[in-house]
Amino acid sequence: MMVGWGGNNGSTVTASILANKKGISWETRKGTQEPNYFGSLMMASTVKLGVDEQLKDVYVPFNEVVPMAHPNDIVIGGWDINSKNIGDAMRRAQVLPVDLQRRVYDELAELKPLPSVYYPDFIAANQEERADNLIGGTKQEQLDHLRKDIRDFKQANGLDRVIVMWTANTERYADVAVGLNDTADNLLQSIANGHSEVSPSTLFAVASILEGAPFINGSPQNTLVPGVIELAEREHTFVGGDDFKSGQTKIKSVLAEFLVNAGIKPLAITSYNHLGNNDGCNLSAPAQFRSKEISKSSVVDDMVGANHLLYKKGEHPDHTIVIKYVPSVGDSKRAMDEYVSEIFMGGLNTISLYNTCEDSLLASPLIIDLFMMTELMTRVTYRQGDDAEWLPFHSVLSILSYMLKAPVVAPNTPVVNALAKQRMAMENILRAFVGLPPNNEMMLEHKAFH
């Protein structure tokens, strides 16, 4: 179930899964296009399983290392503050090719989002005209309503598991304070009291946790306040976040790691974006932009901290982020980056990148990956010793970090932003599930006499 189902991401991923499920092709200027899951780590990438008798590498699809739910088999639903059906929402988004829209419209038009929660103070004022599909009542009544929505959706569709994902507007940061949301009990009491600093996304997270449904935050705000984490731990339910990592930040997590690991010292990273979709419209408000700025800024922290030869304690490259709303570019976000680095003997190196990111076409596969990995983790338990109790993984799913800009991790746990390390962790954990050792690239069989 997606919060913000009628947005660009929600309508795009729904239409795309339908096209894949039914084998719906469409015509383009270059000929017939078949549906695919390109951009999905689980569906379109491979993992090295080992070597064969000739010492040649053997690769298998990521989703075949262990049994995973297939996106073609899932049921999609959700909430939205706007009442448009998903077919009309897809047309409004202007993301998918027109011929594909035409072929899937009738079926999508039958899908209508459930009413959602809207607090004007948390998103930009320019979203008010879209808000015509709302849950009324107090915050406690809204929480109860959301919990019933989850139960009803699960029962009506005969589902084994419901996973809730926030793909709605970026909210401003909520205050975090003692007595407000610092513990599970205080957060539940704040909801009962109707406290103004309980955000819509936090309300959805609490509803999901109390219904045993994992919750993933795909936006940059601080949905997973300490009280949410504690509640998830108490209820043995999974949460993950924050913010889909689709374009500019993903490249940054690769390039910054390369530079620092090569002994090159980034001095300044300047990132500029402009986009014209509703996400860009919402981010044009300062409070919402600040949430995005925070999630984008932290991506190089662990890489810089790993090299004390380049950076003294407390030293950090200048890191500037700009996002502008330009309606005419639509979903085709433009991202321009400049990396200025110190090289040998005080020299300077400048790398400039220009990236056109089809925003929702990059984010939609991440939604699929986050669902598939989260669903898998609900079926995994471990024990330490033959007589020990079988336990689930920690409630904070840091294994999802590859897909998220600002990974939320369990308390007192290091944050890893380097993309290669994030993928390696996910790959090796899956290998452990089937009794295989971690992959390494020593390749000693090719480097020694034998």
Q: What separation in angstroms does the CA of 51 have from each of 74, 196, 379?
A: 34, 58, 29
Helical spans, DSSP H, in 33-175: 41-44, 86-93, 98-109, 139-156
Sign of the dihedral through C-alpha 280, 283, 289, 291: negative
Residue of 149, 243, 337, 369 marked catalytic: 243
Cβ atoms of 322 and 296 closer than 8 Å: no
> Among all chains, which residue has been given the structure tokens 């390109």?
38
3-state secondary structure of 266: strand
Residue of 333, 337, 359, 369 marked catalytic: 333
**For the packed helices 98-109 and 8-22, what is the interaxial angle rounded to 10 degrees?**
90
Residue of 139, 250, 252, 292 marked catalytic: 292
- Extract the tokens encoding 221: 């705000």
Q: Is 292 a catalytic residue?
A: yes
Q: What φ, ψ does residue 379 adopt, rounded to 5°?
A: -105, 5
Cβ atoms of 352 and 268 closer than 8 Å: no
Cβ atoms of 103 and 23 closer than 8 Å: no
User: In a 10 Å sphere around its CB, with 0-12 CB exposed, 13-18 middle and 19+ buried, how is residue 217 labelled?
Assistant: buried
Q: Is 296 a catalytic residue?
A: no
Report how far residue 91's alpha carbon sits from residue 101's, in angstroms, rounded to the nearest whole number: 7
3-state secondary structure of 307: coil
- Extract the tokens encoding 60: 């298998």
CA-closest candidate to residue 95, choices 31, 15, 2, 183: 15
Report how far residue 84's alpha carbon sits from residue 145's, in angstroms, rounded to the nearest whole number: 20
Helix (H) or strand (E) holding 422, with range, is helix 419-433
- Extract the tokens encoding 51: 């070597």
DSSP state of 247: S
Q: Is 99 a catalytic residue?
A: no
Cβ atoms of 259 and 341 closer than 8 Å: yes
Helix (H) or strand (E) holding 268, with range, is strand 265-275
Cβ atoms of 109 and 83 closer than 8 Å: no
Q: What are 32's strand-pairing partners?
A: 27
Q: Is 333 a catalytic residue?
A: yes
Active site residues: 243, 292, 333, 405
